Amino acid sequence: MSESTKKNTDKKTVKGRTSGQFRCLYCFKRITAPPGAKSTTCPHCGYAWRISWFSPGEPRIRGPVWENNEAMTRKIMAESKGGSK
């Protein structure tokens, strides 16, 4: 009778250090921000966030980067219109 307990290895990395990481409020995936960065863009959904540092290695989302999103929205709209060249 063989008893397999393979599930232990999966849960190991849940805790531990999350240096410079925070969760994207748009797609809820983890983003790693460069230390001291004032803003970063989520590589998963492309949403840009303004961040502040609660402590070194502990970023907090302040809010979306509206400028950036506006530019992105314009680009998307321009592309969806079928090119105005």
Under the binding rule (CB under 5 A), the answer on residue 27 touching Zn ion is yes
User: Are the beta carbons of 48 and 42 closer than 8 angstroms?
Assistant: yes
Under the binding rule (CB under 5 A), the answer on residue 24 touching Zn ion is yes
Under the binding rule (CB under 5 A), the answer on residue 44 touching Zn ion is yes
Under the binding rule (CB under 5 A), the answer on residue 53 touching Zn ion is no
Under the binding rule (CB under 5 A), the answer on residue 51 touching Zn ion is no
Instruction: State the first-to-last Cα distance of the chain, in angstroms, to the nearest integer.
Output: 71
Q: How far apart are CA 69 and CA 75, in angstroms?
A: 10
Q: Which residues bind Zn ion (CB under 5 A)?
A: 24, 26-27, 42, 44-45, 47
